Amino acid sequence: MYNKLIDPSIKKQIIECFAKEVTTMICEDIKDDVFGLLVDDSSNVSLKEKLAVVVRYVDKLGVVKENFIGIVHVKYTSSSTLKQAILSLLANNQLSIDNVRGQGYDGTSNMRGKFNGLKALILRDNPLAHYIHCFAHQLQLVIVVVAKKNIPFLFLANEKI
């Protein structure tokens, strides 16, 4: 008989179970406490849009933690669609938008738009969810540009003189 645990569908189910358990532990650590949201949207290789959500909070020992809680596939990257996806993810993990005290996104208009961006929509529901621009995203963009412009130098640095 073949061991069915090596079947790709079984492996996927096992990974999904582990992911759910880890996410549950993270959300139980937060419970009814306050937290921040870090959100980024992008498309995968098949051009399907997805939303990655990270929570930032202080645990019971006073340690600041940032933990990934999920990827949500969205049809559109409009601010209202992104907000609904975030609300759904939070609700599925017993977290409330009322406890959000910070929100961080990149600089795209659908995220930080003053009147109709995700930032504004969440601020309407929770005025305590202060917006902070995600500078890590800018740093990543700078690193990519610098690396692309210096590729020939990387090869030269590896050559023996």
Q: How confident is the model at residue 69 (pLDDT cuts 50, 70, 90)?
A: very high
Q: How far apart are CA 149 and CA 66, in angstroms?
A: 32
Buried b (16+ CB within 10 A) or exposed e, 103-120: bbbbeeebbbeeeebbbe
* Mean predicted confidence (pLDDT) in 156-161: 53
Residue 51 confidence (pLDDT): 87
Q: Residues 91-146: pLDDT tens digits?
A: 999 999 999 999 988 766 677 667 778 888 999 999 999 888 766 666 666 777 77
HSE toward the beta carbon, residue 45, CA cutoff 13 A: 0
Inter-residue contact 53 to 70 (CB < 8 Å) = yes
Q: Residues 75-85: pLDDT tens digits?
A: 888 888 999 99
CATH topology of domain 4-158: Nucleotidyltransferase; domain 5 (3.30.420)
Question: What spatial distance separates the first Cα and last Cα of the chain, rounded to whole Å?
Answer: 58
Residue 87 confidence (pLDDT): 95
| Residue 48: burial class (beta carbons within 10 Å; 0-12, 13-18, 19+) | exposed
Q: How far apart are CA 67 and CA 35, in angstroms?
A: 11
The domain locations on the chain are: 4-158
